[in-house]
Structures are given as C-alpha cells and as structure tokens.
Amino acid sequence: MNPPIVELRRVGKAFQAADGAPRTVLADVDFTLRENEIVALLGQSGSGKSTLLRIIAGLIPADRGEVLYRQQPLHGTARGIGMVFQSFALFPWLTVQQNVELGLEARGMAGAERARRAAQAIGLIGLQGFEGALPRELSGGMRQRVGIARALVVEPDVLLMDEAFSALDVLTGERLRDEILDLWTARQMPTRSMLIVSHSIEEAVMMADRVLILASDPGRVRYQMSVGLPRPRDPDGADVRALVDEIYGVMTAGRVRPVPAVFPAATAATDATDATAATAAAALAPVGEEAEPLRLDHRLPQADIGRMEGLLERLHAAPFHGRAGLPRLGEDTELTDEDLLPLTEALALLGLAQLERGDLSLTPLGKRYVEAEHAERQSLFGRQLLSQVPLAAHIHHSLHQEPGRELPQGPFLHLLRDSLDAEEAERVLRVAIEWGRHGTAYDYDYRTGRIQLPEGAASLAAKTSSQPPSPPTPPA
Ligand SMILES: Nc1ncnc2c1ncn2[C@@H]1O[C@H](COP(=O)(O)OP(=O)(O)OP(=O)(O)O)[C@@H](O)[C@H]1O
C-alpha cells in the first residue's frame, strides 16, 4: 500500500448556528489519502464536503481529532497542499501571469524564478499566449485553467479540487477534466495525489481510484468504493456505467423511508386507487433498512414543482414507461446529479415515485398524478404533503388553530433554527411554502411574510384526515 500523505483521525467540526448554539457539520471523520491516488468525495449538498477540503487545505481548523500531513500535525496551510476552487477565485485586476505567480510571491521567491515557474505552469495547462490577459478577457474554461495553474505552480504534493469543473459548461468541464487526467497519467503534474469534491457521479468514477460518500447531519464517511479501472476510461463503457449505477444506488438508498398509509382508512375504504397507492407507498423503504419517520426539521430537498412534474412526465413517457435508471434519466432530461438527486428524493418523500438501487419508478399514485388534470394534481400533492412532511403538517395545523387563519413565518423559522443554520432554515421553509402553495395546503403573502390558509382549505384538511392533524414530534 502506498504511504499516506494526508490522514484525518476522528475529525470533527461544528459551526455556530444563528442562535449561537454549535451545529456539528463533521463528526468522527477518518480518512487517509495515499500517494499516487485520486480520491473523489461525493455527498448531498451540505454534508460537509467543502468543509472537509478546507480543513485539509488548512484554511479552517478542525475542532476535534487530528489532521496529519506527511505524518506531521497540520497547523494552518501547508506548502505541499494546493487547492482549486469552483469560483476560480482570481484577482480581476491581475493578469494571468500575475495571478499564477501570486502563490510564489507569498513564499518570497525571486522574480526571475517566479516568472520561470509560472510560465511552466501556464504552458502545462495550455494557456500560452494569454500571460498578459486579464481574467475578464477569458472564457470560464480559461479562467479555471488559470485557477489550476495557480494551484500547480507551487508544485503541491496534494491537489484539492472543490467542484472545480461545475461552474463550466458540460463540454468545457469534461475537456478540462480529461486534460488534467492525461497530465496525471503521464506524470507531468508535480502532484502526488488529488482529492476532488464533486456533485457528478460520472466525474467521480471517471477520475478517481477511490470514491467516498459522505453522509449528512453530521458528515461522516458512509461508504467507500475502489475504482480499479485503467485510464483513460470510457464514460460510455460498461465498467464505468456499472459503477455509476452502483453509486447512484448507494446515494439514493436511505434517503427514503416507508410511507405510512397515504390516506386515512375512512377515505381509502371508499377509494380503491388510493388504497392501492397506500400499499405501493408502503413499499418505499430501501431494502434491509429500518426507516425512521421524517423529522420536523428534515432538510427538505431543493426541488422545484415544475421540475418535479417534468421528471414525472418523462418517467411516464416512452422509452421509460414508468421506470428508469437515474444515469439514463439524467442524460435524457439533461439534469445534473446536483439537480436530479433532490428531485428524485422529493418525489420519493411524497410517495409519487420510488427509488430502489439507483432506479426511479412511478408509484401508482405518481402515475395517477401524471395522468391527472391540474386541479387533481394539486389536490393529490397537498394530501401527500400533509401526510408525509411533518413541517407542512405543522404549519397547516398551526394555521387551523388561529382564528385569523394566518401566521407570520417567523415562529416557523425560529423553530427550524433550533437545529439548522439561518440560511438552511430559510431554504427549508421556502421549500415547504412552495410545496404547500402548489398543494393548496396554505398560501404565502410575499408582501407581509405571512402564511395563511387559502379559501376552501378546510375541505383539504377534511380529506387529508378525519382527525385534525396532530402536531408532529418536535425535533430531537
Ligand atoms: N463558515 C460557516 N459558518 C456557519 N456554517 C457553515 C460555515 N461553512 C459551512 N457551514 C455549514 O456547514 C454545512 C456544510 O457545508 P459545506 O459547504 O461543507 O457542505 P457541502 O457538502 O460542501 O455542500 P455543497 O455540496 O452544497 O457545496 C452547511 O450546512 C453550511 O451551511
């Protein structure tokens, strides 16, 4: 086994939430990056991937555990570790050459040597002739080349890449990725190992020798997989596709829990389709996993209604006829993994689709939804929302308790901030509001920031439950 370059031992990190309470982002992360390997880090948005990278880069300290670089504890930035950011992070007023030289200047290197090394890095990454250009004169792909040259010029042992290709259009991102891999394979890079954070499963499989998947809340290594394929790899090859499918399966497993009876017994007894839907939805649990009910503060996936409907419609139509592997569906809809995974999660949460081993299939209820007119779609959506998403049920129930049938959003935000940071609490409430509006469960006044029951909401509540909705269990 190759010697380790970076080692993380039981690393933990917490940030302060809006109310001042610490919120654990990483817990007990153990990880070793070895010489001559590329490791890809995947995980849901917010699972702590960038935080982990920033800790290794020495940009922020870990709160717990140890970070070793070549067997020595890491304090602050290490000379041998370079990082490429998604946002390029170039100085707009400096030329390409000056941006690339920057890291060397900080090390006190003499001007002539700086210029020589920068020219070499610029040449390596294909930017000859642009040394005097300003970032604004360059395309996105060229700007990221500058970002990479700037990281490589210090000849880092370890190159960290935080979604380095995701701000680029697909073709440019793939071309740059392949060029980096060619340099790596031909050992033209000074770098001994790379750790890349990505949202693209295919990118991870194309690049990495090992793929790690971080679990969320708190982030910890949930799964790892070796990718023992020779390079160059063919993105359409059977080996790559099989691994991509396997990772989709892992990443979508455990995101879904079994859905209890979709409709109350009284309604289901008179509605055979609903009863079928209830049975189908109860089969949603990933095989072999004990599922837990959603919590009030569940980080609802960022899923736009229009896109959810678009995905359901694609899934329903030929060639899928109700079932598709996620990679294929992603290709067909041109959705990136970053967009596709939250959409599939939302559909599964709502019992409209079912996720199993990387395949998404319509449930009978989902099929009914696709085939329905707008009003019936809204009504189905609202009923599913109130029965499956505790936050929505809580909002709906609270509004019912109010004589004026409306409440400010503040108390709900406050509740979410007990466990989520301010930005995430805001995002989750926004999703619950958008979903609630579509399901006509409640409405939102953008002028006043108040949530209100729409006209006729009583009938939705009555259809959803024969009892008034009970408040959900508060977050642990
Ligand atoms: N400086 C900070 N202060 C407070 N909270 C932070 C800070 N940096 C990150 N967080 C929070 O930590 C969590 C993890 O963030 P991080 O950026 O590491 O996740 P990620 O997996 O890289 O997400 P994404 O894939 O969306 O980039 C998020 O909830 C984020 O809001």
7 CB near ligand 1 (under 6 Å): no
- Summarize the confidence of residues 378-390 as an average pLDDT: 93
- Which DSSP symbol is given to 379? H
In this predicted structure, the answer to whether residue 436 has a pLDDT above a threshold of 90 is: yes
pLDDT at 77: 83
Q: What's the ipTM?
A: 0.96
Atom of ligand 1 nearest to the CA of 214: 21
8 A C-beta contact, residue 147 and residue 90: yes
Q: Which of 163, 421, 423, 427 to mutate to test the pocket of ligand 1 (most atoms within 8 A of CB)?
A: 421
pLDDT per residue as tens digits for the range 160-197 = 999 988 888 888 888 889 989 999 999 988 899 999 99
Q: Are strands 193-197 and 220-226 parallel, antiparallel or unpaired?
A: unpaired
Q: Which of the listed ranges 167-176, 214-223, 280-289, 301-310 does the model predict with the highest average pLDDT?
A: 301-310
* Protein residue with its CA nearest to atom 4 in ligand 1: 15
More confident residue, 156 or 460: 156
Tell me which residue has tokens 């880069």.
57
What radius of gyration, in Å, describes the C-alpha atoms of the chain? 25
Ligand 1 pocket residue status of 424, Cβ below 6 Å: yes
Report residue 237's pLDDT band, with 50, 70 and 90 as the boundaries.
very high
Q: What contacts 168, CB < 8 A, 6 or more positions away?
A: 140, 141, 144, 176
Ligand 1 centroid, distance to 62 Cα (angstroms): 14
Answer whether 421 contacts ligand 1 (Cβ < 6 A). yes
Question: Ligand 1 within 6 A of 15 CB?
Answer: yes
State the distance from the centre of ligand 1 to the C-alpha of 405, rounded, in angstroms.
36
- For ligand 1, atom 2, the nearest C-alpha belongs to 15
Cα 305 → chain centroid: 18
For the cut 80, the answer to whether the pLDDT of residue 221 exceeds it is: yes
CA–centroid distance, 2 to ligand 1, in Å, is: 31
Q: Report pLDDT for 78.
A: 82
Query: Which residue's CA is the closest to the ligand 1 atom numbered 1?
Result: 15
Domain residues of the chain, as ranges? 4-252, 256-476
pLDDT of residue 454: 86
The residue among 435, 240, 242, 245 whose CA lies nearest residue 329 is: 245
CATH of domain 4-252: 3.40.50.300
**Mean pLDDT of the 228-236 span:** 91
pLDDT of residue 198: 92
pLDDT-derived band at 422 (thresholds 50, 70, 90) equals confident
Q: What is the pLDDT of residue 219?
A: 82
- Residue 266, amino acid: A
Is the pLDDT at 275 greater than 80? The verdict is no
The dihedrals phi and psi of 309, each to the nearest 5 degrees, come to -65, -40
What pLDDT sits at residue 85? 87
| Region 107-119 average pLDDT | 89
| Ligand 1 site, residue 203, Cβ cutoff 6 A | no
CB atoms within 10 A of CB 233: 18
Q: In the prediction, which pLDDT does 107 show? A: 80
**Average pLDDT score over residue span 341-369:** 92
pLDDT in tens, 440-476: 999 999 889 999 998 765 444 444 443 444 444 444 3
Question: The tokens of 77 are what?
Answer: 């930035």
What is the model's pLDDT at position 46? 83
pLDDT average, residue stretch 115-122:
92
Alpha helices in 214-264 (DSSP H): 238-252
Average pLDDT on 132-139 reads 93
Q: How far is the CA of 74 from the centre of ligand 1 (A)?
A: 21
Look up the pTM and report it. 0.72
How high is the pLDDT of residue 456?
63
pLDDT for residue 292: 60
218 lines ligand 1 (CB under 6 A): no
User: Cβ(363) to ligand 1 under 6 A?
Assistant: no
**Phi, psi angles (nearest 5°) of residue 384:** -65, -40
What is the pLDDT of the chain when averaged over all its residues?
84
Q: What is the pLDDT of residue 254?
A: 58
Find the mean pLDDT for residues 50-71.
94
pLDDT tops 60 at residue 30: yes
> What average pLDDT score do residues 129-154 get?
92
> Which residue puts its alpha carbon closest to atom 28 of ligand 1?
46
Nearest atom of ligand 1 to the alpha carbon of 43: 21
